[in-house]
A and B are shown apart, each in its own frame.
Chain A
Amino acid sequence: MLLTITADNLKSLLDKLARDSLLVAPVLEDGVTRLKPVKAASEIALDYSNTATSIKDFLFPQSEDLLRFVTDGTLSIEEIKPERAQVAFGIRPCDLASVALMDKVLTTGEYADTHYQARRKNTVLIGLACESPADTCFCTSYGYNPGHSAGADVMLYKDGDQYLAEALSDKGREVVGGPGEGLFKPADEAAGQAVKKAYAEKEVPFGKEVDVEGIDQLLDNFFDDQYWDDVSKKCLGCGTCTYVCPTCHCFLLTDEARGGEGLRFRCWDSCMFANYTKMAGGHNPRPSKKERVRQRFMHKLNYYPHRYHSYLCTGCGRCVAMCPVGLHIAGVIKDVKGVKAHA
């Protein structure tokens, strides 16, 4: 059922959510809008195309304590479980889509990542459709769109001075019927559908320029192409692309022990770093930028699609905007198509 909520009522709802649980929302600070825990709706910035960092920070944090251990003759292990409930507000369609891609890796198959799973279970995602996609956005290239709502528990669409709302899961219905009780009104179904359609059909100019069709197959026989040598030379070897990416999910485990007590934690790692695949003994199977850059794009556009039947990219455009040297996935897709067309 489609609902509406006024801007004032949305503020009341967010204030309630901030009081009752951890509320994560876009905040503008020193010119950068990013997701941050907030204590009140008044801290939230609503004028943004997308946040500099993604929802990944709160489902798969950059560093996360996993377990404590004590070794005083015997070994005892205490698992640290993320149990705190959180609500994330203002999540854009590309980031909602990224959660589904992360789910495939971290919750399906033989092993599930229990920490990620726990955070997913304890998180309510409130999506916000895009009014003005940035000139680096290309979600439509992957079949998503500015109104794409899959993955949201509650989806909001700004409609004049109010919001069209839809609860899409049990968790979402609990928000609307619980803290949101009395704040939402039923929407006119036809008018609401028209609003959704307008968002779904909203133009994403850069999306028209990036054609991903068939790129997974084009890369099947591309591993040894000269292209990787040429394009990787300008890579700075920093972790910007991987850390702002909503779908990159590599991490490293560290044990830190002092005396008989220790902590195991994990931190994001980046395949762009020189020591990422460095083995004990010093051997590194990806010794130069060529192998590292190739790995990142092959993973997103070839390996992952072969395994999970979708691309590991949602066109959020963060790497397009933030890579210091302009070595981003949209460019690589265009380049590979160009190389193949001239081959």
Chain B
Amino acid sequence: MSATFTDHQAALRDEVKKLLTDGSIKGFIGYARGRDSYHPVPAIVTRPDQVDGLILDQFSIFGLTKYLLDYIFEDGKMGIVVKGCDALGLGRLINDHRVDRNKVHVVGLPCAGVLNGEKVAKLGLGKVQRVTDKGSAFLVEGDKGSKELPKTEYLWDKCLWCENHNPAGADTLLGSEVENVAMKPRDFSDITALEKMPSAERAAFWTRQFSRCIRCYACRNVCPACNCRECVFDIADPRWVGNTVKLSEQQMFHFTRAFHVAGRCVDCGECERVCPMEIPLMKLQRKLQKDVIELFGNPKPFVPSEVEVLGQFRVTEDPEEFM
């Protein structure tokens, strides 16, 4: 029976108001209400009068850390609220030397799982009045109905196998730490099934997925591991990768991106969640995670560490004879 995110909303607003007023931060990256109760959106506030627009609720899934890149060339600190999974994204940006930890005030949000707004919105509960943590379920009370939603069915998939419920190294923690146990083991069965598919069938599966891509780059733009100073896909001269919309270019884009974040992906799942064409991008990432786990013996490639699996070269251990 943990506190819900909403229980911390008042404390968050107080904290942000204090930080903005005393000048410790010049802006804060948090959440605001979206088009309904189920789709909170990012909000970046810079003045104390905007702070009451900040919300926290159990649908606050968006990983906000990528916004920090908008402020790296400015003086002063930015504040940001991070869940456990978001802290991994922040770790990615810090380890990649893109964000200076000293320029961020991290407000940590212990998390017992985030409700999947897409799923819950379909239940017709109306405007959400209250969410209560009942242990294995969240009770969602709306103005048109209430329902107890089992966590195993209504949380985002990544929350089920999450082992990072508490954001590490926060400057301020909202409430107290929650129990840090995965609800079920990390599950690669869908990836194994894809691996076992005859290659023609697997090619057909991915062809269908990538042919939907509209090259909006939402996946890249939200990804904390996609943090290059200039992305190869944005360089017009020379144009390394074509910008026409055809399958080969779409595949080139997604394969390049997947390989570039291999071993660096923090498993936040944001690429797949923001994709307007619902391309299952995490299947690519999770295949690479599985490979890194199996081939390099790193059980947690999604946790940024000092030594990255694919970011090192040990000549004496390299099995490649040619080298």
Give, as a whole number of angstroms, the nearest-CB distance from B213 to chain A: 10
Residues of A within 8 A of B318 (CB): none
**B236 interface contact, C-beta 8 A:** yes
Residue A244 interfacial (CB < 8 Å):
yes
Residues of A within 8 A of B50 (CB): 230
Decide if B214 touches A244 in the complex (CB within 8 Å).
Answer: yes
Over the window 273-285 of chain A, the binary record of Cβ atoms lying under 8 Å from chain B Cβ atoms (1 yes, 0 no) is 1110010000000
Smallest distance from the beta carbon of A47 to chain B beta carbons, Å?
15
Determine the chain A residues whose CB is within 8 A of the CB of B39 once the complex forms. Answer: 326
- Residue-by-residue, is B205-218 near A (CB-CB < 8 Å gives 1, otherwise 0)? 00011001011111
Task: Please determine whether B216 and A238 come into contact, CB atoms closer than 8 angstroms.
Answer: yes
Q: How large is the interface on A (under 10, 10 to 19, 20 to 34, 35 or more residues)?
A: 35 or more
- Asked if A29 contacts B221 (CB within 8 A), the reply is no
Question: Are B35 and A320 in contact, with the CB atoms below 8 A?
Answer: yes
**Does B246 sit at the interface, judged by CB under 8 A?**
yes
Residues of B within 8 A of A233 (CB): 27, 44, 46, 67, 70
Main secondary structure of the interface of A (DSSP, over half): loop
Residues of A within 8 A of B34 (CB): 326
In whole angstroms, how far apart are the Cα atoms of A135 and B126 in the complex? 12
A326, B217: Cβ atoms under 8 Å? Answer: no
Which of these binds chain B: A30-38, A157-165, A168-176?
A: A30-38
- A237 and B222 alpha carbons, distance in the complex (Å): 9
Q: Are B214 and A29 in contact (CB under 8 A)?
A: no
Which residues of B lie under 8 Å from residue A53 when comparing CB positions?
214
Q: Which of A32, A63, A325 contacts B42, CB < 8 Å?
A: A325
Q: Which residues of B contact A265 (CB under 8 A)?
A: 244
Say whether A234 contacts B43, CB under 8 Å. Answer: yes
* C-alpha gap A32/B214 in the complex (Å): 13
User: Knowing A52-B277, A234-B42 touch, does A243 contact B214 (C-beta < 8 A)?
Assistant: yes
Answer whether residue B281 sits at the interface, using C-beta atoms and an 8 A cutoff.
no
Bound-state Cα–Cα, A62 to B34, Å: 30
Binding site for A on B (CB under 8 A): 27, 34-36, 39, 41-44, 46, 50, 62, 67, 70, 208-209, 212, 214-218, 220-222, 234, 236, 239, 243-246, 274, 276-278, 280
Say whether B214 contacts A31, CB under 8 Å. no
Q: Which residues 47-61 in A have Cβ within 8 Å of B in the complex?
A: 52-53, 61
Q: Which residues of B contact A268 (CB under 8 A)?
A: 245
Contact A236 B222 (CB under 8 A): yes
* CB pairs A–B below 8 angstroms (5 shown): A62-B214, A136-B35, A239-B217, A240-B276, A244-B276
Cross-chain contact A52 with B245 (CB below 8 angstroms)? no
Q: Is A324 an interface residue (CB 8 A)?
A: yes
Query: Contacts A62-B214, A243-B216, A328-B35 given; 6 further ones with Cβ under 8 A?
Result: A136-B35, A238-B220, A238-B274, A322-B276, A324-B222, A324-B276
- CB neighbours of A52 from chain B (8 A): 276-277
- Least CB distance from A136 to B in Å reads 7
Knowing A244-B276, A267-B245, A322-B276 are in contact, say whether A238-B217 is a contact too (CB < 8 A).
yes
- Give bound CA distance, A252 to B242, whole Å: 13
- List the 3 shortest-distance A-B pairs measured between CB atoms, nearest first: A326-B41, A238-B218, A324-B274
